[in-house]
């Protein structure tokens, strides 16, 4: 994959064919890390106003200023939708942020983690300790390898599967196709729930519609949750959810005050509200 990012006069600009005609720019103070792994170009920048920023193949994965919005919603929406999650699989997300959030659930006994690019984990542990702390949880078991291959080797094993994938270009492309979702379904226990990075219905209507179609066909319950993340193109991203039983659009377990105080974005009210979609998106999804 060509690296489309550009740095000019101290500004990083995310320029990508997935969102033609628009770019997001952040002012950079320092390049902390820049190296190509066997899978992708990894860059870590110190920005002027948004903390450190992780960029893969020229595409912003996170900034310290707003990473909590994405990490909390991707983890807590499916986990609070499940009545009693004990076994959790996280695919992708080598920064450790989703692991950090999953670890807040005391009832979870096993957290398997599968990431194809070990270099992302190493860079995150060095430069993003507030996120990579997720790897310190003794319940976490790290598996370096292809997430698609991993799920096909683990049938009926997980209560919740969370897929923190990059965009559908490069190593993450296969994670947006129907065979992968069939594998996710087969890896779930009875009443299991999946949550996957669902792109933006503003920026990627066709991609989002395809994910909704796949999950509607495979799961008895389906939903799309919307998140505000200022440093993603368009300021928005979604979560595509599928369930073999539990309703995903509202939490089925209560959130203690001590738990809530650990969070910055997720609340039970935000959980429900995130499924209320703009008319154009609701119309699109209802037509599928």
Helix H, strand E, coil C: the string for the chain is CCCCCEEECCEEEECCCCCCCCCEEEEEEEEEEEEECCCCEEEEEEECCCCEEEEECCEEEEECCCHHHHHHHHHHHHHHHCCCCCEEEEEECCCCHHHHHHCCCCCCCEEEEEECCHHHHHHHHHHCHHHHHHHHCCCEEEEECCHHHHHHCCCCCEEEEEEECCCCCHHHHHHHCHHHHHHHHHHEEEEEEEEEECCCCCCCHHHHHHHHHHHHHHCCEEEEEEEECCCCHHHEEEEEEEECCCCCCCCCCCCCHHHHCCCCCCCHHHHHHCCCCCHHHHHHHHCC
* Active site (annotated) includes residue 164: yes
Separation between Cα atoms, residue 142 and residue 134, nearest integer Å: 11
Q: Which of 9, 164, 167, 286 is catalytic?
A: 164
Other beta carbons within 10 Å of 9: 6
**204: nearest Cα among 274, 284, 150:** 284
Catalytic positions, please?
A: 164
């Amino acid at each position: 994959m060509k690296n489309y990012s550009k740095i000019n006069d101290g500004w990083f600009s995310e320029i990508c064919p997935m969102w033609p005609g628009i770019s997001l720019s952040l002012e950079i103070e320092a390049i902390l890390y820049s190296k190509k792994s066997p899978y992708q170009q990894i860059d870590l920048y110190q920005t002027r106003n948004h903390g450190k920023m992780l960029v893969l193949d020229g595409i912003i994965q996170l900034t310290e200023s707003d990473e909590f919005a994405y990490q909390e919603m991707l983890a807590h929406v499916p986990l609070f939708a499940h009545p009693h999650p004990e076994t959790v699989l996280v695919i992708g997300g080598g920064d450790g942020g989703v692991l950090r959030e999953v670890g807040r659930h005391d009832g979870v006994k096993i957290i398997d983690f599968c990431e194809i690019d070990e270099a992302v984990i190493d860079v995150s542990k060095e430069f993003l300790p507030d996120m990579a702390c997720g790897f310190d949880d003794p319940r976490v078991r790290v598996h370096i390898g292809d997430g698609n291959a991993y799920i096909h080797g683990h049938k009926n094993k997980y209560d919740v599967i969370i897929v923190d994938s990059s965009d559908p270009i490069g190593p993450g492309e296969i994670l947006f196709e129907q065979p992968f979702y069939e594998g996710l379904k087969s890896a779930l226990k009875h009443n299991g729930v999946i949550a996957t990075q669902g792109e933006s219905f503003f920026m990627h209507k066709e991609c989002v519609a395809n994910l909704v179609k796949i999950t509607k066909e495979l799961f008895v319950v389906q939903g799309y949750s919307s998140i505000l993340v200022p440093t993603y193109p368009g300021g928005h991203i979604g979560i595509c959810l599928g369930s073999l039983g539990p309703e995903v659009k509202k939490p089925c377990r209560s959130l203690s005050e001590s738990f809530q105080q650990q969070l910055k974005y997720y609340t039970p009210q935000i959980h429900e509200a995130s499924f209320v979609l703009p008319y154009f998106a609701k119309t699109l999804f209802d037509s599928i």
